[in-house]
Amino acid sequence: MRHVPRPERVTAWHPAVAGITEVFHARFLGHAYPAHTHDTWTLLIVDDGAINYALDRHGHDAAEQVVTLLPPHVVHDGRAATRYGFRKRVLYLDESVLEARLVDASVDTPTLHDPLLRRRIDQLHRALTTPADAFEAESRLAFVGERLRRHLRRQPAGPAPAPDRRLATGLRELIDARTAEGLSLRQAADILHADPSHLVRSFTGAYGLPPHRYLTGRRIDSARRRLLAGEPPAEVAVAVGFHDQSHLSRHFRRYLGATPSRYSASAPTGLAASG
């Protein structure tokens, strides 16, 4: 089959997620990066093609099955490995995710062969494409950061700390109290004096689903009551904590198999909402 190059494209944004300074998605054919540095960590996955680059004057390749981590303030460049170019997704992370003392380890080993880490980075990117899903993105970032630190510290994979039921209960109470206004994972971790990844793991272990899904479910329950009481979907969306009506509709269809408008119009004629 003849390979037809796709047009070049760049998408970049600053997410409302602590620890991530920028998200960058790009498809390039002939672009070559000159030697440069960043003041952040560069976490890169390639979705199509491959990249040749030099880091601290040593040559490396970034390909589809690996994770590439470039440390801050270390010179690197980059170019397509073939004439068909490459497609990549990048996260720029600050030192709240990875501390500066891990730079040397990253220079030595910028290529990480870790399918689970790559899958988690992909899931994080998907969450970041919807700004209203910042709580989910924070949770996914916590696990990505934890695994990156394990690689850089040369820590062998071992059992995670046992879930803490007390932390799980505390997080559920926080979510229940702030369902509409929401909260960040970092806020919850500070309040409960817990490591973010351990907090998410404890909640999931105790209740069988991650905290961001629990929060979404609580908001859906609240939306159902309001919709059956006759409130317009656009007003309901904002009142229960969704970003807008589109955000509500996406999750509502996923949970209930119907749009909010269809759901609110489904009650038999003459029956009042029970609240």
Q: What is the mean pLDDT of each run of 10 residues along the chain (275 residues)?
A: 66 95 95 95 97 95 96 96 94 96 95 97 95 90 96 79 91 96 94 96 96 96 94 94 92 93 77 46
pLDDT at 272: 47
pLDDT at 216: 95
pLDDT at 266: 78
Kindly tell me the sign of the dihedral angle through the C-alpha atoms of 162, 188, 237, 15. negative
Residue with tokens 């030595």: 108
Is residue 44 within 8 Å of residue 69, measured between CB atoms? yes
Q: What is the spatial distance between Cα 81 and Cα 18, in angstroms, rounded to a whole number?
A: 33
pLDDT at 133: 84
The alpha carbon of 132 is separated from its chain's Cα centroid by a whole number of angstroms, namely: 11
Cα angle 231-236-238, degrees, rounded to a multiple of 5: 150
Comparing CA positions, the residue from 55, 52, 46, 54 lying closest to residue 24 is 46
Burial of 76 (C-beta count, 10 Å sphere; 0-12/13-18/19+): buried
Comparing CA positions, the residue from 153, 137, 157 lying closest to residue 91 is 137
Q: What is the spatial distance between Cα 33 and Cα 162, in angstroms, rounded to a whole number?
A: 45
pLDDT at 115: 96
How far are the Cα atoms of 50, 95, 98 from residue 150, in angstroms, in the given order? 26, 15, 11
Enumerate residues 6+ apart whose C-beta is below 8 A from 110.
Answer: 55, 60, 68, 69, 70, 71
pLDDT at 6: 65
